[in-house]
Amino acid sequence: MLGCSTSAERAKVASSPPAATQPRAILCNVNEAHIEGPFQPFDTDVVVGPISWPQLRIWATADPSGYRMGGKENDFKIGAQLKAGAVVTVSIAPEARAYAGLDYGQASSYSPAPTVTFHSCVNSDTAFVGGFHVEGRHCVPFDVSADGEPPVRIVVSFFDGPCPA
């Protein structure tokens, strides 16, 4: 019967977070822009476990105009590279969400999201197209959780010089 559910189903729905708070899923499929590798990290990359952002370390002192995505003033293009089979959730720390977001997700038109979960391809390293939304120059804190492990806090400078320790 339409509209009926068991008490167990109602409890499951009641305990699920609202859709807006769930991470945006970035999958290894034909609906998501991705490139299969292998990829080799360099000293200029920001690396946390199985995820890396190539040359993101040099952005601290770079000119933001060279990194803009699609001519948008506050959106900056950089792929996220993951090791084969990895699942990684990246969240903008709550205190930075007023000015920063994650621009990953082709199906979402690369609009800013506070949290994304990347699912790399099972048999190959995977780079996902996208980037970051950052209004102005900031040191942005992120929480990164790989393969179900507790999150690691990192702070990345977006054209704001060295970040405080």
Look at the chain and report how many structural domains it folds into.
1
Q: Does residue 5 form part of some domain? A: no
Range of the domain at 113: 19-158
Q: Does residue 14 form part of some domain? A: no
Q: Does residue 102 form part of some domain? A: yes
- End-to-end Cα separation, the chain, in angstroms: 59
Q: Does residue 147 form part of some domain? A: yes
Q: Does residue 10 form part of some domain? A: no
pTM of the model: 0.85
Q: Does residue 153 form part of some domain? A: yes
Q: Give the least confident one: 5-14, 40-49, 109-118, 133-142.
A: 5-14
57-66: long-range contacts, CB 8 A cutoff, minimum separation 24 = 59/156, 59/157, 59/158, 59/159, 60/157, 60/158, 60/159, 60/160, 60/161, 60/162, 60/163, 61/159, 61/161, 62/159, 63/159, 64/137, 64/158, 64/159
Q: How is residue 17 annotated by DSSP?
A: P
Write down the pLDDT at residue 165: 72
